[in-house]
């Protein structure tokens, strides 16, 4: 997701809040099926990263987000995880 007009200071927090709303909305969805019963509950795991906090290029930010996503999955799934901020060199 892209959140334009978001300050650097609030970017990660804003992204996490939006991702959490998406996660909760997905959990409440009723997904129809070809039978009389809907599909089981659907959940999502989401990794959050922001520019420039988590990388200086698109590739670095996507990689940071991907790592955070897999951390969400390792920690039990159905959660939002923000990438750790890169250390200054």
What is the CATH classification number for the domain harbouring 24? 3.30.70.270
74 belongs to a structural domain: yes
Reported in sequence order, the residue ranges of 1-89 that DSSP labels E, i.e. its strands, are 46-48, 80-82
pTM attached to this predicted model: 0.78
Cα–Cα distance, 3 to 46 (Å, whole number): 16
Instruction: Return the DSSP state at 78.
Output: S
Range of the domain at 60: 10-82
Q: 33-60, pLDDT tens digit by residue?
A: 899 888 899 999 999 888 888 888 889 9
Residue 77 lies in a domain: yes
Q: Is residue 15, in this structure, part of any structural domain at all?
A: yes
Residue 25 falls inside a structural domain: yes
Average of per-residue pLDDT across 17-42: 91
| 72 occurs within a structural domain | yes
């Amino acid at each position: 997701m892209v959140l334009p007009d978001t300050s650097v200071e609030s970017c990660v927090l804003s992204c996490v809040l939006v991702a959490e709303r998406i996660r909760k909305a997905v959990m409440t969805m009723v997904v129809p099926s070809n039978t009389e019963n809907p599909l089981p509950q659907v959940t999502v795991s989401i990794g959050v990263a922001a520019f420039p906090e988590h990388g200086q290029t698109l590739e670095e930010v996507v990689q940071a987000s991907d790592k955070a996503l897999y951390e969400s999955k390792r920690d039990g799934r159905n959660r939002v995880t923000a990438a750790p901020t890169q250390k200054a060199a």
